[in-house]
Amino acid sequence: MIRNLARGAWLTVVWAALWGEFSPANLLSGAVLAAFLLVAFPTARDPRRGTIRPIAAARFLGYFLFQLVVSNLRVAWEVLTPRNDEREAILALPVVASASPTVLSLLVNSIGLTPGTMVVDLTEDPRVLYVHVLQVHDVEAARADLWRVQQLAIRAFGSADAVAELDELVIGARSRGGG
């Protein structure tokens, strides 16, 4: 209800702005047109659509920026001190199945923007990201970093279903002793 009121108000303001005058007649005709458009073309809410959780989003952003700085320093060190000590790996990162395409895009871009990592493939059934990582000294630590990015992204922007599925996976991993 509130979402439709906000959309209607926005459409009304846009209508009046297009006419170049916020007169009562333009506002009234804009409101009538907005009501017609909202009734004629209803928008269905995607059940996978998430919400923004500000505190979790701040955690995600902080972790991402920290990882960005650390990975930049690692890549710079490798450039300045070249050794043929290649320790590259392609790691599989299982992705929460109910994560929305938006959260999945955020995850893929966050990984891709971090120097030294790049998503090379995504499979759908099961949903798995394959990530190329430069200079892997500890495979489990690299997997844990990727898993942490996913957790933070889903907790910050995921749907309630995605968060619940994530919680089940975390509880299952802890019960198996996987941390």
Task: Give the separation between CA 157 and CA 53, rounded to whole angstroms.
Answer: 6
Q: Which amino acid is at 89?
A: A
| Residue 48 maps to a domain | no
- pLDDT score of 123: 93
Please count the other Cβ atoms lying within 10 Å of the Cβ belonging to residue 92.
14
Total residue count of the chain as it appears in this document: 179
Residues 165 and 97 placed together within one structural domain of the fold: yes
What was the pLDDT predicted at 152?
95
pLDDT computed for residue 129 by the predictor: 94
Cite the DSSP H helix spans in 41-177: 54-80, 101-113, 139-157, 160-175
Residue 3's pLDDT is: 75
d(CA 47, CA 66): 32
Q: Is residue 47 part of a domain?
A: no
Return the H-helix or E-strand segment holding 124: strand 117-124
Tell me which residue of 75, 147, 81, 83 sits closest to 116, measured CA to CA: 75
Separation CA 113–CA 135 (nearest Å): 16
Shared domain check, 129 and 87: yes
Q: Find out whether 162 and 96 touch, Cβ atoms under 8 Å.
A: yes
Q: Hey, what amino acid is at 86?
A: E
The CA-based diameter of the chain, rounded to the nearest angstrom, is 74
In the numeric block, which tokens belong to residue 66? Answer: 């920290």
- pLDDT truncated to tens, each residue of the chain (179 aa)? 677 888 889 999 999 999 988 899 989 999 999 999 888 888 766 555 678 889 999 999 999 999 999 888 888 888 888 776 678 899 999 999 888 888 999 999 999 988 889 999 999 888 999 999 988 888 999 999 999 999 999 999 998 889 999 998 888 777 776 55
Same domain, 30 and 89: no
Task: Please report where in the chains the tokens 């907005």 appear, as a residue.
Answer: 34
CB-side exposure of 129: number of CA atoms within 13 Å?
A: 25
Q: Are residues 118 and 153 in the same domain?
A: yes
| Rounded Cα distance, 116 and 90, in Å | 12
Number of domains in the chain: 2
pLDDT at 42: 82
**Is 18 in the same domain as 77?**
no
What is the span of the domain harbouring residue 20?
2-40
